[in-house]
Amino acid sequence: MEEIIKIEGGHPLRGTVRISGSKNSTVALIPACVLANEPVTIYGVPNISDVESLKVLLEELDVDVKQCDEETLYIDPSQMNNKPMVSQAVSKLRASYYFMGALLGKFGHVEIKMPGGCYLGPRPIDLHLKGFEALGATVQYTKGCYILDAKELVGTNIFLDISSVGATINIMMAAVYAKGRTVIENAAREPEIIDIATLLNKMGARIHGMGTSTLTIDGVERLGGCMHEIIPDRIEASTYLIIAAAMADTMRIENIIPQHVEAITMKLKEIGIQMKVESDAIEVYKTEGPLKPTDILTKPYPGFATDVQQPFTALLTRAQGQSVVTETIYTERFKHCYELNKMGADIDVRVPSSFINGNTPLTGTSVTATDLRCGACLVIAALMAEGVTEIHDVYHIDRGYEDLDGKLKSLGAVLWREEVE
Residue 104 near residue 131 (C-beta atoms within 8 A): no
Which are the contacts of 180, defined by CB distance < 8 A and separation ≥ 6? 154, 155, 218, 219
Which are the contacts of 142, defined by CB distance < 8 A and separation ≥ 6? none
Q: Is 33 in the active site?
A: no
| Residue 321 falls in which region: left (phi positive, over 0), alpha (psi -120 to 50) or beta | left
- DSSP at 412: T
**Whole-angstrom Cα distance, residue 306 to residue 297?**
9
DSSP 314-355: HHHTTBSEEEEEE-SS-TTTTHHHHHHHHTT--EEEETTEEE
Residue 271 near residue 300 (C-beta atoms within 8 A): no
Choosing from 118, 337, 374, 377, the catalytic residue is: 118
**Helix pair 372-384, 335-342: axis angle to 10 deg:** 20
Binding residues for phosphoenolpyruvate: 23-24
Q: What is the 3-class SS of 50-99, one letter each residue?
A: HHHHHHHHHHHCCCEEEEEECCEEEEECCCCCCCCECCHHHHHCHHHHHH
DSSP 285-302: E---SPBPP-EEEB-STT
- Which residues are tagged catalytic? 118
